[in-house]
């Protein structure tokens, strides 16, 4: 892939001084987002798995909290700590999620199905529910959930992951309807993005040994796989005032591969 030009993120996103929490902020996409938020004067809290925090410790000044988004007690505790430190949120992004291998439905173990739903859909539900009271106290508050184009366009062998991601689309619509106009809620549906997610996710075991992004890139109209920075701009837009009349939407960012 040829070197891509740097992106000026300063024209998007929340105002300087806003407080934004990022679940999954230690992952590849998360680190890019946190860096952009800090560069624009936003206060950032990162919530992630302990192993992820250990591997990619956030910058000084970032509020850090260990969390397992699939476990209710862990989520309640992490957001209670955040409320004690900050009192409110102006923005919330949940990037957490993972894939667990290729499994046709007839061969899919129930344990893996449950694990993938817990790590994706249950995670998004628990974290959104915990973040809402803090967002309601914020100013022009916005939530961004991260789903996937596989939640919209299902491929054989990935149905467990697609079911979880499709659930996030529905969850986002429900959250948007229930919390308007106080809190806007939208979702990002990325296409294949070249981060540690392709081998399971930061903080989790490696799943794939044979993923070749260059082969996938051939079927993308823009002729490349996404990088983390490609997702930062759309997230900042959905967090910021420029998208103030947008809620309940799922923004597809995949280089033109999936067209509704």
Name which of 15-24, 192-201, 225-234 the model is least confident about: 192-201
State the helix-helix crossing angle for 159-179 and 123-136, rounded to 10 degrees: 20
**Residue 38 resides in a domain:** yes
The DSSP secondary structure of 163-198, one letter per residue, reads: HHHHHHHHHHHHHHHHHTTTSEEEEEEE--B-SGGG
CATH code assigned at 52? 3.40.50.720
Domain assignment present for 258? no
Residue 6 inside a domain? The answer is no
Q: Count up the domains in the chain and report the number.
A: 1
Backbone angles phi, psi at 57, to 5 degrees: -65, 130
* Residue for token pair 């974290």: 127
C-beta of residue 49 within 8 angstroms of C-beta of residue 27: no
Task: Determine, yes or no, domain membership for 186.
Answer: yes
Which pLDDT tens digit goes with each residue over 70-87?
999 999 999 999 999 999
Mean pLDDT of 43-50: 98
How far from the centroid of its chain's Cα atoms is residue 101's Cα?
20
Q: Is residue 10 part of a domain?
A: no
DSSP state of 71: -
What is d(CA 241, CA 256) in angstroms, rounded to the nearest whole number? 26
> 134 vs 201, which has greater pLDDT?
134
| DSSP 8-class letter at 158 | -
Q: Which domain does 26 fall in, by range?
A: 15-253
Q: Which two tokens stand for residue 93?
A: 């992004």
Confidence (pLDDT) at 200? 46
Q: Strand ranges (DSSP E) for the chain?
A: 19-23, 43-48, 63-66, 91-94, 142-146, 184-190, 250-253
Q: What secondary structure letter does DSSP report for 113?
A: H
Q: Are strands 142-146 and 91-94 parallel, antiparallel or unpaired?
A: parallel
């Amino acid at each position: 892939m040829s070197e891509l030009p740097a992106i000026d993120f300063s024209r998007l996103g929340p105002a300087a001084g806003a407080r934004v929490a990022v679940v999954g902020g230690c992952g590849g996409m998360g680190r890019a987002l946190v860096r952009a938020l800090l560069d624009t004067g936003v206060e950032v809290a990162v919530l992630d798995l302990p192993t992820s925090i250990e591997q990619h410790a956030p910058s000084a000044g970032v509020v850090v909290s260990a969390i397992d988004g699939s476990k209710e007690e862990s989520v309640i505790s992490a957001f209670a700590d955040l409320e004690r430190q900050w009192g409110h949120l102006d923005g919330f992004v949940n990037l957490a999620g993972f894939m667990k291998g290729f499994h046709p439905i007839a061969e899919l173990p129930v344990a893996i199905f449950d694990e993938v739903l817990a790590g994706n859909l249950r995670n998004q539900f628990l974290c959104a529910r915990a973040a809402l009271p803090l967002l309601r106290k914020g100013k022009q508050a916005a939530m961004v959930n991260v789903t996937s184009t596989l939640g919209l366009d299902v491929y054989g062998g990935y149905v467990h992951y697609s079911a979880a991601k499709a659930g996030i689309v529905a969850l986002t619509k429900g959250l948007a309807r229930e919390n308007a106009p106080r809190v806007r809620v939208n979702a990002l549906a990325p296409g294949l993005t070249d981060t540690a997610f392709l081998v399971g996710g930061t903080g989790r075991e490696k799943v794939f040994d044979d993923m070749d992004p260059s082969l996938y890139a051939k079927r993308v109209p823009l002729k490349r796989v996404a990088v983390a920075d490609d997702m930062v701009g759309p997230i900042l837009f959905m967090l910021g005032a420029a998208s103030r009349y947008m809620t309940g939407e799922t923004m597809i960012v995949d280089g033109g591969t999936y067209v509704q």
